[in-house]
Amino acid sequence: MTFDVRWPDGTEVSYYSPSLVVEEHLATGTAYPVADFVARSRTCMEIADARVRKKYGIGCAQSVRTIALISAAARRFGPDDEVLVESFRR
């Protein structure tokens, strides 16, 4: 699944998750402080990675990549700036 976000500077980015777990930790139309968004995203990607590892016997490189991209983007903003979750696409 893909989740689309708008960073505080207006940049729109789509991120990939190998699991629907994202829908359990983020809500469309909700703005999260950057620090909270990163923490929630990290939790989602760790769960997704564990699910892939359990099913296929290896971790998920895409989960690692997604959290790396989110973390890199987040460094441009303050922890209290807000990230808007715009949509989920399956």
- Residue 62, classified by CB atoms within 10 Å of its CB into exposed (0-12), middle (13-18) or buried (19+), is middle
pLDDT band at 27 (very low <50, low <70, confident <90, very high): very high
Q: What is the pLDDT of residues 41-61, one digit of tens each?
A: 999 999 999 999 999 999 999
CB within 8 A of 57, min separation 6: which ones?
A: none
Residues 1-7, mean pLDDT to the nearest whole number: 97
pLDDT digits (tens, 9 = 90+) for 59-78: 999 999 999 999 999 999 99
